[in-house]
Homo-oligomer: A and B are copies of this chain.
């Protein structure tokens, strides 16, 4: 890396943008903060700006001259970014409602269609020619209907997609659409979102994405993105970044030709002798395993960079392509696994415990076994009497600075309890038939298996808050990926190793109404 590139990299933030500040508008343009303190004049100015942006949006949709179209597209996207969040919402609502499809035309075509007689499908029909003519009418109306069923805003999306910078812009627009939906559930905006999402899925099909191995030789402008977007284990400094791209490590990203120099999603891989039990082994293991001795590729971080691509699973294809690539390059590697956080475990457990506190001992499920409760109360030598095991557990887990992690005895007693509850959370707790935990859901739908729970695997503040420090290995075994993914997709079946099942047998198994 040359000096200038290094200087740029050093200047860049060495912490990921926090979720709150990680708003798309800040990554693109400074938001017009002044508007918030708007005087009367400012407010008139804002209104005029809004009118202009709306006008340019209309031009983009309706004009035919390609030359001026480029100017209009630039004007529109610049204007859009200059709008306040409120005005963007207003504009998107107009787009969804006033640039919808022509329902009268759709109905007219339908009436024509319903009036047609379905020809006899018998191929040996002697009236072959006549049948062909009848079918022609079907094909014609079907083609017309396909076009009539496209909302007018499709033109905007299509034109932006082929415009330089347009695909990235559309991802930002979708991020705004998602934030509107989070605030308020409007049918037309939902329809806009689902249409744009389908388009994005097409444009971002794996065939259009380029797998790129990210190395220390890449431009600083690209590496800066890795630092900014690493969502799982923040990159603390340059040495840390260099280590993640160096010996015994790999980093792969998916790039789209229209969004150069910025991976849409990237994955970090450690080449190891064994499947790691703690994240420190991965992040600080020094020196790394010689690559020729490695048998395991451990995926320890996967981050996407575009909030507007939420719900579009690029990670699935990325993981599979990386597995094939690593397997081809290094035939000695045969284990493919993750070391993953369990972001929803504590939240789920604390809400279980809190609700039991509220509803009292009679109406709630005691999620502790009697022997667990006894051991816990013994270890927890607080003088306050009358507290039951669940109350103690809640108190310990919500103590400031995770105080329980300072006491050896508490750690020992909590280990079997939290591992068992964590196994239950991962394997049995579901929402609409899918794993409740978002990371679990991601890997399960990709065809992974829950392999092993690791106690005290992530001792960071975030690790303790999210999952009591527990991490999980999801295992990708090439021969089973498709079967597992299919079973999870169709029946919600969660594949887990005997080790993991062991935690929840037999008690939890009996609780499961299905078994």
Contacts and interface: CB of A to CB of B under 8 A. Distances in A.
Contacts of A258: 207
B146 A187 contact: no
A103 B186 CA distance: 32
A188 interface: yes
Chain A interface main SS type: helix
Interface stretch (A79-87, A108-116, A402-410): A108-116
A68 interface: yes
Chain A: number of interface residues, binned into ranges: 35 or more
Nearest to A210: B257
A445 to B, nearest CB: 12
Given A481-B67, A486-B65, A187 B139 contact: yes
Nearest to A118: B103
Q: How many copies does the complex hold?
A: 2
Interface string A339-371: 000000000000000000000000000000000
A187 B136 CA distance: 5
Contact of A486 (B64, B145, B167, B188): B64
A59 interface: no
Contacts of A65: 482-483, 486
Given A110-B110, A143-B194, A145-B149, 13 more contacts: A66-B485, A103-B118, A103-B138, A106-B113, A110-B114, A111-B114, A142-B191, A146-B149, A161-B207, A162-B206, A167-B207, A202-B202, A203-B207
Interface of A: 64-68, 97, 101, 103-104, 106-107, 110-111, 113-114, 118, 121, 123, 132-133, 135-136, 138-139, 142-143, 145-146, 149, 161-162, 166-167, 186-188, 190-191, 194, 202-203, 205-208, 210, 257-258, 481-483, 485-486
12 contacts: A64-B486, A65-B486, A103-B118, A107-B113, A110-B114, A132-B187, A135-B191, A139-B190, A143-B194, A145-B145, A145-B149, A203-B207
